Amino acid sequence: MTIREFKSLPEASQTYPKVIKSLLPVVGGNKKAKKNVLPEATYTVNELKVNKTNLQNYRRICGFADNGQIPPTYFAVLSQSLQMNMMVDEAFPFAMLGLVHVANSVTQHRRIADSEVVTMRVSFANLRDHDKGKQFDFVTEVYSEEELVWEGTSTYLSRQKTENSGSKDSKPKTVNQKPAAAKDDLHSIFAVPEDIGRRYAKISGDFNLIHIHAVTAKAFGFPKAIAHGMWSKAKCLSLMDFPEAYTVDVAFKLPILLPSEVELIGDNLKKLQQSGTVEFDLYSAKNDMPHLAGTIKKL
């Protein structure tokens, strides 16, 4: 079990050279990594102070209010710095370029002031089979002193050949028809500009080439650059009001090609008080193609 402690979050300028080095071919492969075995590792920042400038920029690009509180998705973004270091410094068994962010869950146990000094811990977890390869989680916990105030799970897919790959018996993909929004339901249509990937990368530190420019995205099989999944989740949540404690689960569906216009449709959030659960979805504004499916549960 590896436990590493950092005085602050690693800077992207220090991390990306290691990421690039990890992508270079190595004679004989990574001898430390065991095939399809996750490292037992936890990376920690014990006294994490939020950078107010970065937080303010994050609020602006996602649409969150400047209310003195940490937005629900912000710690998920900060944890990616530790995640990248874990993948390049530990015996990580999968190619980073092949990873697909397929789902994200965040749980906020109480409102968190942006002035609080917290402890962040990130660990690998829950390696399991998927019909397209292997899935695993990064689990993040945030503590204020000894109190667990926030936790999140980011699920990634490593595409690999499986017994079901190319099978004629595989179930065809289905697309749920976009519903019509009722009068009191959550409903918003908004534009996603062509440069949102570059702008969000500067704030989040996620410079994955599929988000930066159409030219670099085409090298990975996309016709255009695509929006960050965590930006699309944050943008949706910025249009909602939340109770004191809640969980938001999201599954990322089809990518948002840039530029685009998208449509958010969801249950009236007043239903949270009645049923404790509401659902929301993000679609292309031009057709029924789904980009994101989410569920909010009141704690």
**What does the pLDDT look like over 139-161, one tens digit per residue?**
999 999 999 999 999 999 998 87
Region 233-246 average pLDDT: 96
| Domains by residue range for the chain, with CATH | 1-160 (3.10.129.10), 182-298 (3.10.129.10)
Q: CB under 8 Å to 61, separation ≥6 — which residues?
A: 196, 199, 200, 203, 231
Question: Distance between CA 38 and CA 50 in Å, rounded?
Answer: 30
How sure is the predictor about 220, in pLDDT bands with cuts at 50, 70 and 90?
confident
Q: Which amino acid is at 23?
A: L
More confident of the two residues 203 and 176:
203
Q: Are 140 and 122 in contact (CB under 8 A)?
A: yes
Region 202-210 average pLDDT: 90
Q: What is the pLDDT of residue 269?
A: 87
Q: Are 96 and 22 in contact (CB under 8 A)?
A: yes
Say if residue 112's pLDDT is above 90. Answer: yes
CA angle (125, 120, 247) in 5-degree steps: 70
Highest mean pLDDT among 34-48, 161-175, 188-202: 188-202
- Alpha carbon of 54 to those of 15, 70, 107, 204: distances in Å? 18, 12, 22, 9
Q: What is the pLDDT of residue 126?
A: 95
Q: CB under 8 Å to 225, separation ≥6 — which residues?
A: 194, 197, 210, 211, 212, 213, 214, 216, 217, 257, 258
**Sheet of 277-284: strands edge to edge?**
2-6, 41-48, 118-130, 133-144, 147-159, 99-108, 246-252, 290-298, 277-284, 260-266, 186-192
Instruction: Look at the alpha carbons of 136, 141, 253, 199 in this order and tell me if their dihedral is positive or negative.
Output: negative
Q: What is the pLDDT of residue 253?
A: 96
Residues of the chain with pLDDT > 90, as a percent, come to: 72
Say if residue 173's pLDDT is above 60. Answer: no
Say if residue 1's pLDDT is above 90. Answer: no
Paired with 257 in beta bridges are 226
Say if residue 125's pLDDT is above 60. Answer: yes
Q: What is the pLDDT of residue 273?
A: 82
Count of other CB atoms within 10 angstroms of residue 220: 12
Question: Distance between CA 102 and CA 134 in Å, rounded?
Answer: 12
Q: Which amino acid is at 167?
A: S
CA angle (244, 279, 98) in 5-degree steps: 100
Of the candidates 264, 242, 268, 263, the one whose C-alpha atom is nearest the C-alpha of residue 185 is 268
User: CA Rg, the chain, in Å?
Assistant: 19
Say if residue 118's pLDDT is above 90. Answer: yes
For 110, phi then psi, to 5°, come to -165, 165
SS3 211: helix
How sure is the predictor about 168, in pLDDT bands with cuts at 50, 70 and 90?
very low
Q: Which amino acid is at 159?
A: R
Diameter over CA atoms, the chain: 62
Region 22-38 average pLDDT: 62
Task: Please tell me the number of Cα atoms within 13 Å of 287 on its side-chain side.
Answer: 7
Average pLDDT value for the chain: 89
Q: Are 204 and 80 in contact (CB under 8 A)?
A: yes
